Amino acid sequence: MIKPDGVVRGLIGEIISRLERKGLKIVALKMIKIDRKKAEKLYEQHKGKDFFKELIDYVTSAPVVVMIVEGRDATKVVRKIIGKTDPIEAEPGTIRFDLAMTIGKNIIHAADSKERADIEMKLFFNDNEIMNYKRVDENWIY
């Protein structure tokens, strides 16, 4: 998910481009305004923490771009591309290091496991919104 700061800063294309250039395939994509209920479900593992309310306020403050990407070990690959949660600790070349300055506005969210990805995908997409197709370069990527 490209968070509100990524959307309002005009970084959607940059972020999607990085994912596609790596070889990941986008199979679902849309811009939405997350309501509080979905935001709280998305970040339910942080409920009760000091920053929870601020996080929910932030993620519901402007549109976001939600997407599903596929590829070998997609969850691990995406986590590597986006970098550590705190941009200061992220590796150079990652989305968060290159494009974000603070942990509170760090451009992008990604599930940290396949199980969590399955939950999050169902929050934002119906089965008929997920496309099944083959990229022309898949034979060269894999």
Taking only the tens place, the pLDDT of each residue in 66-112 is 999 999 999 999 999 999 999 999 999 999 999 999 999 999 999 99
pLDDT of residue 97: 98
What 101-106 contacts at long range (C-beta under 8 Å, 24+ apart), as own/partner pairs, is 104/51, 104/54, 104/55, 104/58, 105/3, 105/5, 105/58, 106/3, 106/5
pLDDT of residue 35: 97
Where in the sequence numbering do the catalytic residues fall?
109
Taking only the tens place, the pLDDT of each residue in 23-44 is 999 999 999 999 999 999 999 9
pLDDT of residue 93: 98
Residue ranges of the domains in the chain?
A: 4-32+64-133
CATH number for the region 4-32+64-133 comes to 3.30.70.141
Give the Cα separation of 81 and 133 in Å (integer).
Answer: 23
pTM above 0.85, yes or no: yes
Residue 116 pLDDT level (bands cut at 50, 70, 90): very high
Taking only the tens place, the pLDDT of each residue in 38-62 is 999 999 999 999 999 999 999 999 9
Residue 65 pLDDT level (bands cut at 50, 70, 90): very high
Cite the DSSP H helix spans in the chain: 4-8, 12-22, 36-42, 52-59, 74-82, 95-99, 114-124, 138-141
